[in-house]
Structure 1
Amino acid sequence: MFTSQGPTLRELAVQALTSVERGYDLLAPKFDETPFRTPVRMLDAVEEALAEHGGSFGSGLDLCCGTGAALPLLRRLCRDRVTGVDLSAGMLRQAALSLPEGADLVRADALALPEALTASYDLAVSFGAFGHFLPTQRPALFSGVHRALRPGGVFAFPIGAPIPPTSPLWWAVAGFDAAMRVRNAVWRPPFVMYYRSFPWGPVRAELDAAGFTVGTVPLEHFGRRPDGTPRWRLVLARKDRRAPAGDPPGGL
């Protein structure tokens, strides 16, 4: 799980007792040596699906980009500007060490994206970050992505099939979430990270409410469950190509 160059148990404990922003600042130099980094297998599967179902894009946005694992993917898929956004200055410093040519980095809260990013992108992606947002925050998150996309733009992210309660993994993530809820009840500042707070039904309804047309495609790299359903899907949420009436040309 962790390489010998990864964080120690003490370092992880210190991180968990700070805020999300400060925690990732501390973890950033060793983040890529942890299992928290998006696996290359997932990045490859998403890139293949986007190339097949979306083709080439203009500009790309990586929301909560961390150390920049997905920026090379965006650079290959997008013809124009590629931007990584993250709240943690430490993570962005790490991303800058291997920043692809033609990519830039912006430090910003995903819940309050800068006005300069409005209607600027044709593709937005995000990997492994949604557990950092409470369910009550998701409408603002999705609305912000919708504003950042041009008409016809796509918001894409992978989502796994529900874990059955018979699986040991279900109990592991449920135990982690319970421990985090206790930690946040008794310790400040809170560290928001929950693995079971992103159910597909409510998420799809919230994407619809934000103005997206939502579909999914299977990520066949990860196979199928015994009932034949995909273990992982790629969500493709598309912004309507028609700009709302009264908007200035080229913007929202």
Structure 2
Amino acid sequence: MFSPEGPRLSELAVQALSSVERGYDLLAPKFDHTPFRTSDSVLDATVAALLESGPYGTGLDLCCGTGAGVDVLRQVCRDSVTGADFSTGMLEVARSRRRPEGPDTSWVRADARVLPFGPEFDLVVSFGALGHFLPSELPGLFAQVHKVLRPGGRFVLPVVAPPRPGSLTHAMLLGFDAVMRVRNAVWRPPFVMYYLAVRFGDLWHGLENAGFRVAFWPLPEFGRRRDGSPRVRLVVAEKGARRAPLTS
């Protein structure tokens, strides 16, 4: 699961016993060599879908980490791109990465639950960050995203179909979540990172309750499951009306 350039087991143990912020500060130099980073295949498929649905002017990568989502935005936004994260270490790595010509890019240290922006973005994306928020925090998070989008702006995030209950993958993720719950019950500060805490229906209804109109765009590159549902799709939440219709 980890490349030779990735963190050692001892480093992961120290990170897991830290706060989320401190843990990612420590992990940042090796984060891109872990399975926690969103795969290039998902990033590329997201770019393709957004290029078809644009154009977009300004973009925000929420919980940007080392900037992989910023690189997505730089391919689909014309005016400017912002990466926001509360880990100083992750932002330092993101800033240091060399990038080709593109729109102006800025980096902001910010808590996603209290974003320091007004309604100035046409597109907000987030990759692999929802597991760092408790279900009770999602309404506030979605309200923050709604606040920083212009009318007609979109909040887009890829979601992978959950593993079938009883499968090995489901058992592994369930076990991981159980270990994290025990860790957080006996150790402070907490490290919030769960894979199965946010259910698809809760995500859908939470976005609608925040004022979004929600659609789901299958990413055909990943095929479909036996029941016909997409293996990977984009959740596309729109604020208000937009020139192009929102289709699924």
TM range (shorter): over 0.9
Corresponding residue pairs, total: 239
Runs of 4+ in 1 over 4 A off after TM superposition: none
Q: Percent identity?
A: 59
Q: Determine the structure 2 residue equivalent to 1:107.
A: 109
Q: Determine the structure 1 residue equivalent to 2:84.
A: 85
For residues 17-40 of structure 1, give each alpha carbon's deviation from its aligned partner in whole angstroms, at most 9, with x where no partner exists. 000000000000111111111110
Amino acid at match of 2:169: L
CA distance in 1, matches of 2:9, 2:199: 30
> Structure 1 residue 99: deviation in Å?
5.6
CA distance in 2, matches of 1:202, 1:156: 16
Structural RMSD (CA):
1.1
Output the TM-score relative to the length of structure 2: 0.94
Q: Determine the structure 1 residue equivalent to 2:228.
A: 228
Gaps of 5+ in 2: 243-248
The residue matched to 2:56 in structure 1 has which SS? coil
CA distance in 2, matches of 1:210, 1:231: 26
CA distance in 1, matches of 2:209, 2:109: 27
Within-5 A mapping of 1:7-22? 7-22=7-22
CA distance in 2, matches of 1:31, 1:161: 24
Within-5 A mapping of 1:27-66? 27-52=27-52, 54-66=53-65
For residues 40-71 of structure 1, give each alpha carbon's deviation from its aligned partner in whole angstroms, at most 9, with x where no partner exists. 0000011111112x221010000000000111
**C-alpha contact (below 8 Å) 1:71/1:99 kept by paired residues:** no
**C-alpha contact (below 8 Å) 1:68/1:99 kept by paired residues:** no
CA distance in 2, matches of 1:99, 1:112: 29
Q: Determine the structure 2 residue equivalent to 1:135.
A: 135
> Structure 1 residue 241: deviation in Å?
3.5
Output the TM-score relative to the length of structure 1: 0.93
Amino acid at match of 1:8: R
Q: Mean Cα displacement is larger for which, 194-203 or 122-131?
A: 194-203
Q: Determine the structure 2 residue equivalent to 1:248.
A: none
Amino acid at match of 1:65: C
Q: Determine the structure 2 residue equivalent to 1:237.
A: 237
Q: Determine the structure 2 residue equivalent to 1:200.
A: 200
Gaps of 5+ in 1: 243-252
For residues 215-235 of structure 1, give each alpha carbon's deviation from its aligned partner in whole angstroms, at most 9, with x where no partner exists. 011011111001111111101
